Copies of this chain bind each other. A is one copy, B any other.
Amino acid sequence: MSKKQKRYLLGEDEIPTQWYNIQADMVNKPLPPLHPATREALKPEDLYPIFARELCHQELDQEHAWIDIPEEVYDMYKYYRSTPLVRAYGLEEALGTPAHIYFKNESVSPVGSHKLNSALPQAYYCKEEGVTNVTTETGAGQWGCALSYAAKAFGLEAAVYQVKISYNQKPYRRSIMQTYGAQVTPSPSMSTRAGKDILTRDPNNQGSLGTAISEAIELARTTPNCKYTLGSVLSHVTLHQTIIGLEAEKQMEKAGEYPDIVIGCFGGGSNFGGIAFPFMRHNIKEGRTTRFIAAEPASCPKLTRGQFRYDFGDVAGYTPLLPMYTLGHNFMPANIHAGGLRYHGAGVIVSQLLKDGLMEAVDIKQLESFEAGMLFARTEGIVPAPESCHAIAAAINEAKKCKETGEEKVILFNLSGHGLIDMAAYDQYLSGSLQNFEVTDDDVQANLDAIE
């Protein structure tokens, strides 16, 4: 790693006190989500049975550009924020690029990823309205860990449905959740009707985010004082993640630069939106021309190969219909290591922005992502999460273009988490046993046709 490492931190009094709601500034607002039963435009009240009320309002708020961060959440943010903005001299040198590469290091949170930025306010708002139990689903476990931590912080009981294959294959994050006091159940389970239905049909079902979401929602609906929480996709989750970009904006100012390109990996959109939206407001309002690039896996290419349409957020069709780029809610992504990016759809804000040409998307193959992650680990010293490797790969591609053109562009990407609990994936990469998975336009069309 470079000997010239340089990081920028904010003083405690410089940490932003509000989140940024880009919906208020968008010229073309996102289309409304539709109630799954009535197919009418969703109102905040329709979501009350599932989410804390404040979150229901944040979800659909197209008026207020700035939302105050509650004091108790702010106090918890200060325990790990600001996260460092780092000039990646080592990576620049290794690439021989004239580009200036910066990354925002969200891996320094106590749970190792950006997920805590939304878990804390979600748990807080639940607590505030008298909720005692929260539930959620998790795949590899980044979100589940964050929610377990936040629940403990605000004195709530947490029940996490973890995709069964991850529960068995990646036991470390399950253990972390249990260490934080959460109850973790492999999904599908016999504890819900949805789970029983699946297991009756297919006793060996290994689960998916779709099955786990259905179980968690059912638990929230059928348990008094229990609410459901979600780690990405939804607009209020992305709202909370804008703390990343708002900090980065101040830190870039300290570095005396402004990004020409902002990059995030893309699962449902929350870490991407979190770093991108605060900068994007200057494009919208002041005519800046920064490019925003979402880096998704080639095996789950909703932004680059999906279609913009109304679709469900889960396999069973329990969620509202969302206007989004989707591969179809029945899409089963390949079992890549970037578990956090294995989702069929994109958040409604990002979908509208992509449709309107305000941002771009690229797809990254699994081997390319790990190649990028290895170079990053050896030049910057941090082993990145498999998800974050996609952002690194996209940043490297842009930096290589700069090498060709000689342009001294400023590239900023979000390092959403570290990969210390994903070393089995690196082992496979180092031993040559990892492979690429790709999805063609025909695959997507066939999948979408099947749910017509």
Interface residues of A (CB under 8 A from B): 1-5, 7, 9, 72, 75-76, 78-79, 86, 108, 110-112, 149, 152-154, 171-173, 175-176, 178-181, 374, 377-378, 381-383, 420-421, 423-424, 426-427, 430
Q: Judge whether A1 and B152 touch: CB under 8 Å.
A: yes
A131 CB to closest chain B CB, in angstroms? 16
Q: Shortest CB–CB separation between residue A423 and chain B, in angstroms?
A: 4
A112 to B5, CA, bound (A): 18
B3 near A76 (CB under 8 angstroms)?
Answer: yes
A420 lies within 8 A of B179 (CB) = no
26 A-B pairs whose Cβ atoms sit less than 8 Å apart in the complex: A1-B152, A1-B153, A3-B75, A5-B78, A7-B78, A9-B9, A108-B108, A110-B381, A110-B382, A152-B378, A152-B381, A153-B381, A171-B424, A172-B420, A172-B421, A175-B426, A176-B383, A176-B420, A178-B430, A179-B374, A179-B423, A180-B377, A180-B381, A181-B378, A420-B421, A421-B421
In the complex, the answer to whether B5 meets A176 with C-beta atoms within 8 Å is no
Residues of B within 8 A of A382 (CB): 110
How distant is the Cα of A424 from the Cα of B426 in the complex, in angstroms? 19
Partner of A171, one of B112, B149, B178, B423: B423
Contact in complex: A153, B377 (CB < 8 Å): no
Q: Given A1-B149, A1-B152, A378-B181 in contact, is the A424-B175 Cβ separation under 8 Å?
A: yes
Q: What chain B residues lie within 8 Å of A111 (beta carbons)?
A: 381
Q: Which residues of B contact A9 (CB under 8 A)?
A: 9
What are the nearest 5 A-B pairs in CB distance? Answer: A175-B423, A172-B423, A5-B79, A110-B381, A175-B427
Name the B residues within 8 Å of A180 (CB-CB). 377-378, 381
**Whose C-beta in chain B lies nearest to the C-beta of A111?**
B381
Whole-angstrom CA separation of A47 from B424 in the bound complex: 39
Q: Which of B175, B179, B423 has a CB less than 8 Å from the CB of A378?
A: B179
Residues of B within 8 A of A173 (CB): 423
Query: B3 near A377 (CB under 8 angstroms)?
Result: no
Q: Give Cα A172 to B426, complex, Å.
A: 9
Given contacts A3-B153, A172-B421, A176-B420, 5 further A-B contacts (CB under 8 A): A3-B75, A110-B381, A111-B381, A152-B381, A175-B424
Q: A171 contacts B427, CB within 8 Å?
A: yes
Q: Are B1 and A175 in touch, CB under 8 angstroms? A: no
- A152, A374, A381: residue with the most chain B Cβ atoms closer than 10 Å: A381
Contacts of A426 in B (CB 8 A): 175-176, 178-179
- Shortest C-beta distance, A54 to chain B (Å), equals 18
Q: Say whether A179 contacts B75, CB under 8 Å.
A: no
Whether the Cβ atoms of A430 and B1 lie closer than 8 Å is no
Specify the chain B residue showing the minimal Cβ separation from A79. B5
- If the complex has contacts A179-B383, A421-B421, are A72 and B152 also in contact, measured as CB distance less than 8 A? no
- State A132–B4 Cα separation when bound (angstroms): 21
Which residues of B lie under 8 Å from residue A424 when comparing CB positions? 171-172, 175
Give Cα distance in the complex from A181 to B378, angstroms. 7
Chain B residues with CB under 8 A of A172: 420-421, 423-424
Chain B residues, CB < 8 A from A3: 72, 75-76, 153-154
| Among A112, A420, A421: residue with most chain B CB under 10 A | A420
| A176–B172 CA distance with the chains assembled, in angstroms | 16
Task: Find chain B residues with CB under 8 A from A7 CB.
Answer: 78-79
Q: Give min CB distance, A250 to chain B, whole Å.
A: 16
